[in-house]
């Protein structure tokens, strides 16, 4: 494990695997361990750099949290890598990757169902308010449940089915410790407004699954429309957890995309 210091002094931990053109993986929920199945399939072709987001895993945290701070964290990791890396973000990490790409040079950006909400869903979104009420009542478990039910299942799953899923989910109940971070993340997502044009010059690949939440499948198409050079790949039968659920299919899509994108040789 290595570390880098972000702009506000927060220590960000990351791992490196493999050799080749650099590829930085930015997770959303959980920790950098989310990417383990994908790393195994990409490390033969790339130098895969996998950080923990602030407040997660082995990274530190700061008192002043915002999306902008998260982007600064990703920038610190990118600047520690030789050459211009490609970014691959999942969920909130996808938003983090896109926002960094708007201002910083990268070789390419990939985002799996980035956490952007649009349209009617955005107008009625109240997840952060419900989570805040649960946290204020001293119930982080309820806050975490609200997040998982809405973000992973789009609020479209029944009580019994959700409880059965939760019983089988390997990260539960340890996941409850992330409740405060989940709240601040969801609040930032609800406040974020997708511009008509993102102003990203780098080639972009958007990924989604047919079994993901309907609002995120709508959002990923809106993000594609806001990218001047964006393409979309949809995985049949795959959910919002696509990189962990179908790592070989996701890794193959990334490799095919990167094969079409000119690369920077850091040795030149």
**pLDDT (tens digit, 9 = 90+) per residue, 183-203?**
999 999 999 999 999 999 999
Query: pLDDT value at position 266?
Result: 38
Q: What confidence tier does 229 reach under pLDDT thresholds 50, 70, 90?
A: confident
Question: 51 with 74: CB under 8 angstroms?
Answer: yes
243 has pLDDT over 80: yes
- The pTM for the full model equals 0.94
> How many Cβ atoms sit within 10 Å of the Cβ of residue 57?
20
Band (84; pLDDT cuts 50, 70, 90): confident
Tell whether the model's pLDDT for residue 40 goes beyond 50: yes
State mean pLDDT over 232-246: 96
pLDDT higher than threshold 80 for residue 262: no
CA separation for the pair 32, 15 (Å, rounded): 9
Does position 14 have pLDDT exceeding 80, yes or no? yes
Average per-residue pLDDT for the chain? 93
| Domains of the chain in sequence order | 2-118+194-259 (3.40.50.1820), 123-186 (no CATH)
Q: Percent of the chain at pLDDT above 90?
A: 88
Query: What's 35's DSSP letter?
Result: G
Average pLDDT in the 109-121 region?
96
**pLDDT tier at 265, thresholds 50, 70, 90:** very low
CB neighbours of residue 260 within 10 Å = 10
**Mean pLDDT throughout 109-120?**
96
- d(Cα 103, Cα 67) in Å, to the nearest integer? 14
Distance CA 131, CA 143 (A): 5
Higher pLDDT, 267 or 171: 171
Q: Give the three-state DSSP class for 69.
A: helix
Q: What is the pLDDT of residue 263?
A: 56
Confidence of residue 155 (pLDDT cuts 50, 70, 90): confident
125 pLDDT above the threshold of 70: yes
Adjacent-strand bridge partners of 48: 17, 23
* Residue 141 in this model has a pLDDT that exceeds 60: yes
């Amino acid at each position: 494990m290595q570390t880098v210091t972000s702009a506000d002094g927060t220590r960000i931990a990351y791992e490196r695997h493999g050799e080749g053109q650099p590829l930085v993986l930015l997770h959303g929920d959980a920790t950098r361990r989310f990417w383990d199945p994908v790393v195994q399939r990409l490390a033969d072709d790339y130098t895969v750099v996998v950080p923990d987001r602030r407040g997660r895993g082995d990274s530190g945290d700061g008192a002043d949290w915002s999306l902008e701070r998260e982007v600064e964290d990703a920038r610190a990791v990118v600047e520690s890598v030789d050459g211009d890396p490609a970014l691959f973000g999942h969920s909130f990490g996808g938003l983090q990757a896109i926002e960094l790409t708007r201002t910083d040079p990268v070789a390419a950006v990939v985002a799996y169902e980035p956490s952007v909400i649009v349209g009617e869903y955005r107008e009625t979104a109240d997840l952060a308010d419900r989570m805040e009420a649960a946290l204020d009542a001293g119930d982080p478990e309820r806050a975490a449940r609200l997040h998982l039910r809405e973000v992973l299942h789009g609020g479209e799953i029944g009580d019994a089915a959700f409880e059965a899923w939760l019983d089988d989910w390997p990260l539960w109940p340890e996941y409850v410790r992330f409740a405060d971070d989940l709240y601040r993340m969801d609040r930032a997502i609800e406040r974020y407004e997708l511009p008509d044009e993102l102003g990203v010059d780098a080639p972009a690949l958007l990924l989604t699954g047919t079994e993901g939440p309907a609002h995120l499948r709508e959002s990923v198409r809106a993000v594609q429309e806001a990218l001047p050079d964006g393409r979309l790949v949809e995985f049949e039968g795959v959910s919002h957890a696509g990189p962990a659920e179908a790592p070989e299919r996701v890794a193959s899509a990334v490799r095919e995309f990167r094969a079409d994108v000119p690369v920077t040789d850091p040795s030149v």
